[in-house]
Amino acid sequence: MPSAPVTQGPRAGDEEHPSTHLARLEARGHWGIKKGLEHPRALLENLGRPDRNFPIVLVAGTNGKGSVGAFLAHAFRAAGLVVGWTTSPHLVSPTERVWVDGSFIGEGALDLLVGEAFEAEERLGIQATYFELMIVAALLGFRMLGAEIAVVEVGLGGRWDATNATDPILTVLTSVGLEHQVHLGETREAIAREKLCTAREGRALVLGPTLDPAWVRPLLECRPAVFPALDLWAESVAWDHSVVRGHRIALAGAHQVQNLSTALEAVRQLRYLGFPLPEEAVWRGFSEARIPGRLWRLPGLDQVWGDGAHNPAGAAALASHAVRCGVRPDLFFGAMKDKDLPGMAAELRRTEPRSVTLVHGPGERYADGGALCAAWGRDLPVLDLPRAAARLREPGEGPRLVTGSLYLLGDLLAELGIRPEA
């Protein structure tokens, strides 16, 4: 299948072409969260509704969004479609948020697209957030590069998320857990209501296998056609892969088999809508699916794995996988201070780690050493990023696992000089 070009300018790191618009965008990253769809809708209208040039699959949920997006994007590409996929957050570079036909967009191309979004903002006399501008730039990129279908990952919640300014042909809700209660509500039901606003009247809503349709339906504010994913079973499970229906799946863990079942149900519903998605091609795409930061082996290091589990549910899935595979890692843990640190620590203790090293990242968002030690209930070594990176460069005696935050993993990668590949 011919690949659409994805670099319309210099690649990341080309110092001859400074990314002026991306630098300006980075400053918006400190603005926080804003409720309302007025700005993303206005930007998209001003730019000719790029999102109406291709059907959109919108993926919401507490955990599993990125992995379901990866499965779908790779399956669509294997079936011969030109695919756009946008996910968040990025680890090292914002180019990781825009994936087209198997590659991250080039830094020069993304800079130009962000510049278009800024120009629209100026014409309208508004000021959008980082995420709103980034989503608009991604959709502009998909139009520019001829995407035939797009997979769009919701950022936070759903009702007021910038991605909800689009009109998806199908919505996926992977899971619902307690997260961002300040913004989404104190109960699981309240959080689900916010996420379910991504569903559309009369269109398919695919639910992950942990979600009971009887629980979901009373929380809906519209009437989509609800399709629960069916459980898949792995024939074998290893630390770095599973085998499902005879196919080697590199996204490892029982939780990834659940995400795979969710993606498979979304594929089924798209087939009913007329999308040409042959079974063999879809499974080939599932087998090829990759996403940095989800039980991902860091290149160039000795037995170092990174997983961005950032809440107790994610930590529980990771710990259960380690226990099932008999892996007792040397654990490197750091997280944001607004997360449930004791809840994550309690889950990760189940791995009976050979050692625990705490990592305090830069910036006010990170939990400091005192909070991290309190979460684990004892004094433990606390390293800053340079010292943690130096430790990880050393040979290891067994698997070493970095977890607690995608932001931590991204900052460590930058310290180590490692750039993720699509």
- Domain boundary, last residue among 228, 261, 288: 288
Phi then psi for residue 233, to 5 deg, are: -125, 135
Range of the domain at 344: 296-416
| Parts of the chain with a pLDDT under 50 | 1-18
- Domain boundary, last residue among 288, 313, 347: 288
CA 202 – CA 115 distance, rounded (Å): 36
Residues 330 and 367 in one domain: yes
pLDDT of the residue at 413:
95
Give the model confidence (pLDDT) of 216-237 as tens digits. 999 999 999 999 999 899 999 9
Residues 65 and 183 in one domain: yes
**Identity of residue 194:** E
* Calculated CA dihedral for residues 404, 405, 410, 413, nearest 10 degrees: 0
pLDDT of the residue at 182:
57
pLDDT of the residue at 14:
38
Q: Read off the pTM.
A: 0.91
Residues 200 and 281 in one domain: yes
CA 244 – CA 110 distance, rounded (Å): 37
Is residue 112, in this structure, part of any structural domain at all?
A: yes
pLDDT of the residue at 177:
82
Cα dist. 251→70, 99, 260 in Å? 9, 18, 9
Residues 100 and 227 in one domain: yes
Which long-range contacts (C-beta less than 8 Å, at least 24 apart) are formed by 95-100? 95/12, 96/292, 96/420, 96/422, 97/134, 97/138, 98/137, 98/138, 98/141, 99/73, 99/422, 100/4, 100/6, 100/141, 100/142, 100/145, 100/147
Residues 232 and 316 in one domain: no
pLDDT of the residue at 7:
32
Residues 54 and 111 in one domain: yes
Please report where in the chains the tokens 């501008």 appear, as a residue.
133
Query: What is the DSSP-derived secondary structure letter of residue 326?
Result: T
Residues 214 and 303 in one domain: no
pLDDT of the residue at 33:
64
* CATH code: domain of residue 348: 3.90.190.20
Residue 75 and residue 296 in contact, taking contact as beta carbons nearer than 8 Å: no
pLDDT of the residue at 41:
98
pLDDT of the residue at 16:
40
Is residue 422, in this structure, part of any structural domain at all?
A: no
- What is the total count of domains within the chain? 2
Is residue 131, in this structure, part of any structural domain at all?
A: yes
CA 336 – CA 404 distance, rounded (Å): 8
Is residue 1, in this structure, part of any structural domain at all?
A: no
CA 78 – CA 290 distance, rounded (Å): 13
**Identity of residue 47:** L
Is residue 2, in this structure, part of any structural domain at all?
A: no
Is the peptide bond preceding residue 89 cis, with omega within 30 degrees of 0? yes
**Identity of residue 103:** S
Residues 81 and 220 in one domain: yes
- Domain boundary, last residue among 250, 272, 288: 288
